[in-house]
């Protein structure tokens, strides 16, 4: 057993809703960014595997939250790593689905991290804007979706994402649409695990306020486009 050093990070922003200055930290202290001196060899190996996947970036706040439980962090790294780097489904479509999960779950951290990746993956700004602003199709009208800038394949994924995230059960016609627009069995498994996996990610991020983003606003599409130019 070992004890992580308590090193809370102070973020300098305010709660707009209450109109007062109030510094905020993640609900748990972050784990150290390198293995503690008394860490077991197994824990050191877990740190190394996560660092290898993040390379050349350092460990991110999500990693430093999960590393309170190295075995969980290791399993998470393997699962999400497979979704991110070993799937064949179009990366832009996958990122669009992840962004939609972030919007539906109000996961600011997730949106701000993945919306730029969607743009880099080929999603157009007006398509990303649709993912940000369209009301959930799981509970209401789909006319706005049908008239949106999304392609048929993107619309099918967005409806699937909405139902997986909001109602859990996916209607037969919504599932059949994935097949109809050309997704094969592997694509559907990869999309389903991606949507489910990032629902897990968003719930973890929001529950613990990882990265101290819960009181922030999601970046606008215009802001995201500007940062990529």
Return phi, psi of residue 143, to 5°.
Answer: -60, -40
Domain locations in the chain?
A: 89-227
pLDDT in tens, 60-74: 999 999 999 999 999
Q: What is the DSSP string of 118-171?
A: HHHTT--HHHHHHHHHSPPTTTS--HHHHTSS--HHHHHHHHHHHIIIIISS--
Residue range 124-150: mean pLDDT, rounded: 95
How far the first Cα of the chain sits from its last, in Å, is 48
Q: Domain 89-227 adopts which CATH fold?
A: AhpD-like (1.20.1290)
Please give the share of the chain, as a percent, with pLDDT higher than 70.
90
Report how far residue 105's alpha carbon sits from residue 120's, in angstroms, rounded to the nearest whole number.
Answer: 23
Nearest Cα to Cα of residue 93 among 143, 126, 127, 134: 127
pLDDT in tens, 184-203: 999 999 999 999 999 999 99
Report how far residue 165's alpha carbon sits from residue 183's, in angstroms, rounded to the nearest whole number.
Answer: 20
pLDDT in tens, 153-186: 999 999 999 999 999 999 999 999 999 999 999 9
In the numeric block, which tokens belong to residue 185?
């069995």
In the numeric block, which tokens belong to residue 122?
């080929």
pLDDT in tens, 5-29: 333 332 333 333 323 334 678 999 9
Residue range 84-111: mean pLDDT, rounded: 98
Q: How confident is the model at residue 229 (pLDDT cuts 50, 70, 90)?
A: confident
Angle between helices 125-133 and 152-162 (to 10 degrees): 20
pLDDT at residue 56 greater than cutoff 50 = yes
pTM listed for this prediction: 0.88
Residue range 134-140: mean pLDDT, rounded: 92
């Amino acid at each position: 057993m070992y004890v992580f050093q308590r090193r809370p990070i102070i973020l300098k922003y305010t709660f707009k809703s209450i109109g007062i200055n109030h510094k905020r930290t993640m609900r748990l202290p972050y784990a150290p960014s390198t293995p503690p001196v008394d860490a077991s060899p197994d824990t050191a190996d877990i740190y190394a595997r996560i660092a290898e996947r993040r390379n050349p970036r350092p460990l991110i706040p999500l990693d430093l939250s999960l590393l309170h439980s190295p075995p969980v962090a290791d399993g998470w790294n393997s699962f999400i790593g497979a979704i991110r780097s070993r799937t064949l489904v179009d990366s832009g479509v996958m990122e669009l689905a992840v962004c939609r999960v972030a919007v539906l779950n109000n996961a600011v951290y997730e949106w701000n991290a993945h919306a730029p990746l969607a743009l880099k993956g080929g999603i157009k700004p007006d398509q990303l804007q649709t993912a940000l602003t369209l009301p959930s199709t799981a509970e209401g009208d789909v006319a706005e979706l049908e008239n949106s800038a999304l392609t048929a394949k993107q619309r099918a994924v967005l409806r699937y994402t909405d139902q997986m995230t909001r109602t859990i059960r996916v209607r037969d016609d919504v599932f059949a649409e994935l097949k109809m627009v050309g997704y094969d069995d592997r694509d559907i498994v990869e999309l389903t695990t991606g949507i489910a996996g990032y629902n897990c990610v968003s719930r973890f991020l929001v529950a613990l306020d990882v990265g101290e983003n819960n009181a922030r606003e999601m970046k606008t599409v215009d802001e995201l486009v500007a940062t990529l130019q």
